[in-house]
């Protein structure tokens, strides 16, 4: 099967959590909005969203087509792919736990986004810089430590290993945590440099994932869109000051 991933073509965003799983799995996939030709590009993505013939329409990208299945919401997509590609343990308890952690990551990602767009996503950053400074200050001092401490604690309490968040092998949740640490290190390099000794397990997990052969190859390829000022993780020096 060739999966079809629908996401915006110029940003990592939430689609990157899905790309990392597809890359680690060695799965064949088309990044539809980034491709060219008939049935590709942003126009194809918008046609799908606007189509009246889609019985269960997704709310927004990312969404994944797998044969006749159309799966929306990042955590939902990862739960599906994780089970298919051996990136989550087989037992139901572990799968529910993985999904719970992924949903908590989604909460974290929403708060990260709101550091630079605390008022409205439809406004430019420049229209809300004062509010963003206050939001980022609270995020660095209070919210980021709350989430990072939680995930570091999850690693420490894994009964069999402190190298993975779920079970004893790499899971899709580990890949997502890699992306969060990478993104935060881009957006808030000073704050994250100070945080690294405190959350050594999370940074070790990031380093471990980064060195996996398929992930390393992906990160070095043009398929990996660089972090930029349009995505979730954005670097504004004035926000990285707490």
Q: What is the pLDDT of residue 183?
A: 98
CATH code for position 51:
3.40.30.10
Q: SS3 for 65?
A: strand
Q: In this structure, what are the phi and psi dihedrals at residue 120, rounded to the nearest 5 degrees? A: -160, 135
Domain count within the chain:
2
Q: pTM of the full predicted structure?
A: 0.96
How confident is the model over 89-125, as pLDDT tens digits?
999 999 999 999 999 999 999 999 999 999 999 999 9
Q: Please give the structure tokens belonging to residue 154.
A: 């999850």
Task: Name the average pLDDT for the chain.
Answer: 96
Q: What does the alpha-carbon distance between residue 57 and residue 177 come to, in Å, rounded to a whole number? A: 28
**Within-domain flag for 148:** yes
**Within-domain flag for 221:** no
Q: What is the pLDDT of residue 41?
A: 96
**Within-domain flag for 231:** no
How confident is the model over 153-168, as pLDDT tens digits?
999 998 666 799 999 9
**Within-domain flag for 164:** yes
**Within-domain flag for 224:** no
Q: Report how far Cα 201 is from the mean position of its chain's Cα atoms.
A: 19
Q: What is the pLDDT of residue 195?
A: 97
Pair 40, 135 in one domain: no
Domain that holds residue 56: 3-84
């Amino acid at each position: 099967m060739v999966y079809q991933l629908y996401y915006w073509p110029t940003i990592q965003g939430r689609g990157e959590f899905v790309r990392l799983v597809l890359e680690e799995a060695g799965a064949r996939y088309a990044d539809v909005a980034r491709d060219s030709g008939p049935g590709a590009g942003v126009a194809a993505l918008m046609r799908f969203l606007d189509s009246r013939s889609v019985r269960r329409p997704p709310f927004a990208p990312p969404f994944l087509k797998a044969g006749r299945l159309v799966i929306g919401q990042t955590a939902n997509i990862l739960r599906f792919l994780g089970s298919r590609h051996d990136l989550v343990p087989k037992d139901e308890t572990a799968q529910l736990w993985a999904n719970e952690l992924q949903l908590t990551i989604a909460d974290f990602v929403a708060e990260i986004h709101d550091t630079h767009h605390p008022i409205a996503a439809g406004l430019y950053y420049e229209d809300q810089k004062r509010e963003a400074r206050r939001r980022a200050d609270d995020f660095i001092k209070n919210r980021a430590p709350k989430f990072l401490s939680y995930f570091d604690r999850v690693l420490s309490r894994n009964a069999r290993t402190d190298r993975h968040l779920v079970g004893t092998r790499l899971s899709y949740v580990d890949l997502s945590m890699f992306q969060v640490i990478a993104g935060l290190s881009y957006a808030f390099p000073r704050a994250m440099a100070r945080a690294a000794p405190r959350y050594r397990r999370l940074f070790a997990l990031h380093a471990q994932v980064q060195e996996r052969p398929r992930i390393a190859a992906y990160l070095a390829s043009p398929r990996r869109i660089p972090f930029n000022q349009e995505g979730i993780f954005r670097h504004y020096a004035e926000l990285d000051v707490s």
